[in-house]
Amino acid sequence: MTRRRITFPHRAGNASRQAHADLPPGTYEREIGREGFFGPATHMHHAHPPTGWSHFEGPLRPRAFNLAALDARDPSPWHAVPVLTNAQVKIRFWRLESAMPALARNADGDELLFVHAGDGELHCDYGHLRYRAGDYLLLPRGTMWRLEPAAPSRFLLIEATGGAYGLPDKGIVGAHAIFDAAMLDVPALDEAFRAQQGETPWRVEIKRAGAVSVARFPYNPLDAVGWHGDLSPVRLNIDAIRPLMSPRYHVPPSAHATFVAERFVVCSFVPRPFESDPGALKVPFFHSNDDYDEVIFYHAGDFFSRDNIAPGMLTFHPGGFTHGPHPKALQNAFTPKNAGTDEVAVMIDARDPLEVAPAVQPVEWAGYVDSWKAVPE
């Protein structure tokens, strides 16, 4: 039997009529929403900041990890440091400083690599691509690939376990909004690709159900001479993303969706002008996003809604508690100090609870949960 949500817009007490704008003086807005930012929602107005807890106990607490402090270096992506996992998505952090000595093949799901640092070459079944910081490299399930870094490289790996990546439905703004699919680059069967072919023996490390098997070839299996079809790795640089903006309304993170998989979404935050309407919020609104776990990896810039967060750090906000801007950012909720944001970050919203891997607990910032305590003057 199909289910229809119970919806009946209602307004009580001293409340604004428009979400994220024209808040009653001296109040703090909190969104209670369902289905990420796509479902029904109510906007509460509080006399105190909704994150003004004096103490927080238990596993639901907000957490932060300094992935830049991880020193694990390995030529295989299958030895990358696990960060957060559930049945649909596996997030890992990988440092690569020299050419991969073997090919990798993920039989568990599509692999999305976000290049946090470095540059170099990607060789795969389909040909050759260069990569640089800020690139997304989307490798469909089953693709054989290897990287040759020209400079030490660091990657956030986001595996769509048992699934595949696609592009979000952009609705009324049209298919060319945010980024045009024509901005997706595909590998080329170019001279660099042909030059790496040959009769030298190669190993292929194949990951399936979390276990790695090895197939050995007496030649380089990246020996394609041609291909045709609509399945291919793609590259998209963060610079190609043109964010949706409104001068009179703070758009939710869902408006910045970049890739969509089964039961999670990957969003990109890039520099943009602040809202210009004097009554519109200029910082992320407090929200109780109870259906999703929220993960943000901070790539570059000044992270205007967070204190003491540096590039290479990752925050984890499990679904079920209210979160929002830090107190210092809240002071600029309506009068920002700059003309626009200066941040680049990758957000993963997961529909099912994520588990923190033991490997990243040594780089956790234990005081993150207390960073909301200060009350703005």
CATH (domain of 86): 2.60.120.10
Domain boundary at 209, 238, 267, which? 238
| Same domain as 178, residue 97 | yes
Q: pTM for the whole thing?
A: 0.94
Q: CB neighbours (10 Å) of residue 176?
A: 12
* pLDDT band per the 50, 70, 90 thresholds, residue 332: confident
Domain boundary at 204, 238, 272, which? 238
Q: CB neighbours (10 Å) of residue 299?
A: 24
Taking only the tens place, the pLDDT of each residue in 156-179 is: 999 999 999 999 999 899 999 999
| Same domain as 246, residue 234 | no
Q: How far apart are CA 266 and CA 295, in angstroms?
A: 10
Does residue 20 lie in a domain region? Answer: no
For residue 57, what is the DSSP state? Answer: -
Question: Across residues 187-209, what is the average pLDDT?
Answer: 98
SS3 label, residue 240? helix
Taking only the tens place, the pLDDT of each residue in 13-39 is: 888 989 888 999 999 889 888 877 777
Q: Are strands 211-217 and 202-208 parallel, antiparallel or unpaired?
A: antiparallel
Binding-site annotation: residue ranges for Fe cation: 287, 293, 323
Residues 269 and 294: beta-carbon distance below 8 Å: no
| Same domain as 277, residue 337 | yes
Contacts of 191 (CB under 8 A, 6+ apart): none
Residue 332, domain extent: 28-64+242-370
Contacts of 333 (CB under 8 A, 6+ apart): 281, 282, 283, 325
Tell me what pLDDT residue 289 has.
72
The total of structural domains in the chain comes to 2
Q: Which residues are catalytic?
A: 250
Does residue 5 lie in a domain region? Answer: no
Least confident residue range of 112-126, 180-194, 273-287: 273-287
Domain boundary at 190, 207, 238, which? 238
Question: Across residues 84-113, what is the average pLDDT?
Answer: 98
| Same domain as 306, residue 251 | yes
| Same domain as 273, residue 191 | no
Q: How far apart are CA 37 and CA 320, in angstroms?
A: 14
| Same domain as 341, residue 278 | yes
Burial of 169 by CB count in 10 Å (0-12 exposed, 13-18 middle, 19+ buried)? exposed
Does residue 351 lie in a domain region? Answer: yes
More confident residue, 235 or 336: 235
- DSSP H or E segment with residue 288: strand 286-289
Does residue 349 lie in a domain region? Answer: yes
More confident residue, 376 or 326: 326
* pLDDT band per the 50, 70, 90 thresholds, residue 136: very high
Question: Across residues 71-80, what is the average pLDDT?
Answer: 93
Tell me what pLDDT residue 374 has.
64
Residue labelled with tokens 């107005």:
45
* pLDDT band per the 50, 70, 90 thresholds, residue 376: very low
Does residue 54 lie in a domain region? Answer: yes
| Same domain as 362, residue 232 | no
| Same domain as 187, residue 84 | yes
Residue labelled with tokens 């604004």:
16
Does residue 7 lie in a domain region? Answer: no
Binding-site annotation: residue ranges: 287, 293, 323
Does residue 8 lie in a domain region? Answer: no
Least confident residue range of 128-132, 151-155, 252-256: 252-256
Tell me what pLDDT residue 377 has.
40
| Same domain as 265, residue 190 | no
| Same domain as 299, residue 180 | no
Question: Across residues 308-331, what is the average pLDDT?
Answer: 89
* pLDDT band per the 50, 70, 90 thresholds, residue 213: very high
Does residue 208 lie in a domain region? Answer: yes
| Same domain as 247, residue 152 | no
Q: How far apart are CA 358 and CA 196, in angstroms?
A: 38
| Same domain as 264, residue 347 | yes
